[in-house]
Amino acid sequence: MKELWHFRGSTSCLYVSEMIKLRQVLEFKRIIVEKGTN
């Protein structure tokens, strides 16, 4: 049971880091688009 909790904890942590990365990429692209249009 402990192993299952550890697995879930690590996967949720990985999920959060992926979401942060994705958000940074989207923000970066948005800045490029705004600079390109100006």
Q: Residue 18 is part of which domain span?
A: 1-38
* Per-residue pLDDT at 23 exceeds 90: yes
Biggest CA-to-CA distance, the chain: 56
Q: What is the mean pLDDT of residues 4-14?
A: 70
Say if residue 3's pLDDT is above 80: no
Q: Flag whether the pTM goes above 0.75.
A: no
| Tally of domains within the chain | 1
